[in-house]
Structure formats: C-alpha cells, structure tokens
Structure 1
Amino acid sequence: MKDGHIHSPYCPHGSSDQFEKYIKKALEVGVMEMTFTEHLPLPKNFKDPSPENNSAMTEDDLLNYFNELKKLKEKYKHSVKINIGVEVDYIEGYEEEIKEMLDKYGEYIDDSILSVHMIKLDGKYHLIDYSAEEFCKLIELIGSIEKVYYKYYQTLKLAINSDLGIYKPRRIGHLNLVRKFNKIYPYDYSNMDILEELVRLIKSKNYELDFNVSGYRQQYCNEAYIDGHLLELVRKYDVKTVLGSDSHSHDTVGYKMKEYDRLMNELQIQL
C-alpha cells in the first residue's frame, strides 16, 4: 500500500518530527511506498495569505530537503520505496512562476500533487482551509456558501487545465477541501454540475486523485476529502485514487489505510 501525501520537518505549519520517524511509522503499519510531499516554495513575487506566512518551505530549504530524502531513499531501499515529492499550490495568475519553479527543480521530483488551498477574489487571495472563522468571512465576502463552493471548484478546474510544464503533477490533492468545515457550514453540493465536469476532466487527462483522509482528523469535517457525491462520481468514471494521509506528524502515516483498502476492493467488485 502507498501513502502518497506526507509532510516533513520542512513544513513550517507542521511538527518537527524528523524524516526517520515518518519512515519507521510507515514500516510499522505496513506502508510499502511513501511520498513526501512538502509544499513547493511559493513564487517570490507572491504574498502568502496565511497570517503566519507559513504556507510553504523556502527555496533556501528546498535542496536540503531533496538531499536528505535522497540519502534516506538509499538507506531504506530494501525496506520501503521512498519518493521525493512536492505539493504544488496552484495560485491563479501565477502559473508561469510555478512552471519556472517546476522546470528548475523537476529533475529531483519522483512524485507530486497539485492542490488548491487559496482562491482569488477581487484581486486578493484567501485560504479556503485556514479556519472556520475565515471560511465564514469568505461566505460573507462572496455572498453565499454555494458561491464559495463554486469558486473553489472553478479554481480547481483552472488548476487542472493549467500549463505548468512537463513536471506538472498528475495527481490532484484533496479535491473536496472546501468541505473542511461542513459540520458548521453544511451544504448539499450533489446538484453542482461543475463537480462532475471536474471528475470527467481529471479522467480525460488520465490524472489521479489524492484520496485524502485527513478530513477525518478535522473537528468540523469528519469525512474523507473524497466522500459522498464525489465518491459516487469517482466510482462512476473509474478515476484512479491514491491514499493520502496528509500527515503533518509521524503518528498518522498510513492513517485509515485498512479502511481505504477495503473501500477500494468493494468498489472494484461493484464496477
């Protein structure tokens, strides 16, 4: 089993757990392949909308990140397959800068994820998943929760269609991140045509989906970021998924792995 979404000590909004803690946990729970997906540095001319300015690691740290993982790949090559990866934050309007970064460092990358954490409104960028309070402000700013969902999925569509060069990730991260606070701000999105458009688009490009289970660990989510109506669509179009624990500390590597494996087997039988 593969865990394709794991963070690292280089994550400025995660824990200080060292790489080997993550690897040893993977071995303990039976993960056979793991991808470290630290956030690729944001464009230098982009202002991080996080109040803590901690959405991604710096470019100064990037080569150290790659070099550490290269050594660990060799050290553990007979025990677990370790992929050197990144999580690429799609930022509307900064496609060329992201492409330049991927062109510069793509040769070091084995595996990667393309995610949307922020949306652009009236020339400003807003994090979709920072806090329930900020999500409420987004609803007020844009006019309704339906419009927040639509804007988020619209931005995902831009990300999927974007030209980020030959090193563009082929796996889309936590497609339903917009539902992180759904227990406080519930919304029935099953009639939104854009979601089926997205899944069809992902299928047509032969992309994978990050079956991100970190939502189970979020107080106001309590579901995977592929669940409900989205899961039905993923099954309908037979889109490939990869388990993503989205671990920011070593103890959640391989999180929900057995449940994911069982679900995938059940879906395969039904197809």
Structure 2
Amino acid sequence: MIKHDGHIHSPYCPHGTADTFADYCEQAISHGLSGLTFTEHAPLPEGFTDPTPEQDSAMSYGRLTSYIEDLQAVKSFYKNKLSVLIGLEVDFIEGFEKETTTFLNEVGPTLDDSILSCHFININNEYYCIDYSPDVFLTCQTLLGSTDAVYKHYYETVKKSVKADLGSYKPTRIGHITLCQKFKKKYPATELHSQDITSILHLINDHNYSLDYNGAGTLKPLCGVTYPPSDIASLAHQLGIPLIYGSDAHQVKGMAAGVDTLFNTDILSTPVLR
C-alpha cells in the first residue's frame, strides 16, 4: 500500500478541475495515505509563450501567492491527520534556464517539495508540448523523421534537465521520464531506447535525485503503463534511486492511478523535505 502521493494537482490548474484541496485530502485519508504533495504546474518562465491552443499548461504567475497561502492553511488544518506538502511541478524548458533559476530562487523558500518535469521540446527553435495530443506528437514525428527520433529528442531533453544548474532550489525529483510514450499505441517506437533511459537513470543517481513513479499513464488509452514502466522502475530501484509514487491526479478520481500495476509498493520512498 502506498503511504504518500507525491504528485497531485489542484483547482489552480487551468486544464484541471474544480476539485478542492480538501477533496484531495479527504480522499487521501480514505485511501489510508499518511501524506501527499500538491505539485501544481508552476508558472512558465518569463518570456516563454505556451504553445498549446488554450495556453493553459500552467498556473499564472498572478495566482502563485494565493496558491501558496491556500496550501499553508490546508497544511495547518490537516496537520494532525495528514502530512500536506507544498510543492510545484516546475517545467524544464531548454533555453530558459536563467529565468527558471530566478523563479526558483524566489519561490523556493516557500516550498516543501517539488518536481522537475519535461513537457516541452525544442525543435528548430519552436516549442511543442509533447503530451498535448496525438496530433502534436505527429507534428513532432514529421519534423524529426520518426517516433524513435521524437523519443530520442525527449530523452535528451530529460538528460539536460537533470544536468542543468538551476540554483539551490532546483527540484530534486525528476518527473515522468517516459512521458513521450503517452501515445505509444498509436505511434509505436521500433527501439527500446534502453541506452538513453539507462543514461538518464545513472544521471539521476549521480545527482542523488529521486524519481517520480507516475501512475497517470495507466489511465491514458494510448499508453496504459506507468511513467516509467515497471522494468525501468525496477532498474532505478536496483541503482538505489528513491521511487516516489505520484498519481499526477488532476481530479480526485484520478488519485491512486496505477497503484495496482506498480512493480513493488514496499520499496516506495517519501519525499525528503527541504
């Protein structure tokens, strides 16, 4: 049984739902969890234009203070029932490292926990949200030449995120490292990309980071597996990388996603507080 869900979104998510912080907390308690981390999509870096049609990938900067203050109140209210951690899911966007560092230096002292994730890839100086839709993935495939080339490009971006110097408040948990597989049933790869994935895991281990063992992929009809899949999660565990379960829920009913498919719930870790 899992004890902590380290990746949960909130009513502050523009592409999420109106489910409240309390709704998530009560569900966590009913599931027998001892804690959870709210990791709303952090405001995108200054100067970056969200390429999605509705430009709803992340919380606006103007709502950040309210998000933190609301969570501080929730954390206090549930302190005797549930460990509520205040966090963000921060995007690594190649070319915006300086802006991301500036943001983290500002908000970092208010956070208990955080995740560094890759959603956007840079192709010919244009950015694409890799998990937005099959059509966007197909555009990336067309530009790069194949599904395997898209995977390779994504994994290279993840490597850059792990190696990036984003200051002392850089998140130390790397999010859904195989998100590029979200549409794999429609656009299957011909290679396993084992070398790239192993390289990512060794980089994570070398930096003493942890891994987001993300259940959301199990709910995606064109994916059906966790990010990363169990064989990769098992290898990460063998390397000594802490695995922190995350449902990546954007609504209460998404909590506990993929729990029954995790290769071993007994080895799951909980976040190390800053």
TM-score, normalising length from structure 2? Answer: 0.93
Displacement of 1:232: 4.4
Deviations 1:135-175 (A, max 9, x none): 11111111111110110000001100011111100000001
Paired letter, 1:7: H
SS at match of 2:45: coil
Question: How far, CA to CA, are the matches of 2:267 and 2:212 in structure 1?
Answer: 18
1:9-20 alignment to 2 at 5 Å?
9-20=11-22
> Match for residue 52 of structure 1?
54
> Match for residue 257 of structure 2?
255
Paired letter, 2:166: L
> Match for residue 65 of structure 1?
67
Displacement of 1:186: 1.4
> Match for residue 85 of structure 2?
83
SS at match of 2:264: helix
Out of 149, 152, 156, the position equivalent to 1:150 is 152
Paired letter, 2:181: R
> Match for residue 271 of structure 2?
none
Question: How far, CA to CA, are the matches of 2:253 and 2:90 in structure 1?
Answer: 24
Question: How far, CA to CA, are the matches of 1:31 and 1:181 in structure 2?
Answer: 31
- Contact 1:190 / 1:229 at 8 angstroms: preserved in 2? no
Displacement of 1:233: 2.8
> Match for residue 187 of structure 1?
189
Instruction: Give aligned pairs, total.
Output: 267
Question: How far, CA to CA, are the matches of 1:223 and 1:126 in structure 2?
Answer: 23
1:99 aligns with 2:106: no
SS at match of 2:249: coil
Paired letter, 2:148: E
SS at match of 1:138: helix
Deviations 1:222-244 (A, max 9, x none): 00012155234324313211110
SS at match of 1:36: strand
Out of 22, 28, 49, the position equivalent to 1:26 is 28
- Contact 1:22 / 1:251 at 8 angstroms: preserved in 2? no
> Match for residue 243 of structure 1?
245
> Match for residue 43 of structure 2?
41
> Match for residue 230 of structure 1?
232
SS at match of 2:211: strand
1:160 aligns with 2:162: yes
Out of 122, 128, 131, the position equivalent to 1:129 is 131
Question: How far, CA to CA, are the matches of 2:138 and 2:57 in structure 1?
Answer: 20
Question: How far, CA to CA, are the matches of 1:200 and 1:10 in structure 2?
Answer: 34
- Contact 1:17 / 1:250 at 8 angstroms: preserved in 2? yes
Question: How far, CA to CA, are the matches of 1:197 and 1:221 in structure 2?
Answer: 23
Question: How far, CA to CA, are the matches of 2:261 and 2:146 in structure 1?
Answer: 34
Q: Gaps (5+ residues) in structure 2?
A: 269-274
1:210 aligns with 2:212: yes
Question: How far, CA to CA, are the matches of 1:12 and 1:177 in structure 2?
Answer: 20
Out of 200, 213, 218, the position equivalent to 2:202 is 200
Paired letter, 1:10: Y
Question: How far, CA to CA, are the matches of 1:33 and 1:47 in structure 2?
Answer: 34
SS at match of 1:182: coil
- Contact 1:31 / 1:254 at 8 angstroms: preserved in 2? no
Displacement of 1:191: 4.6
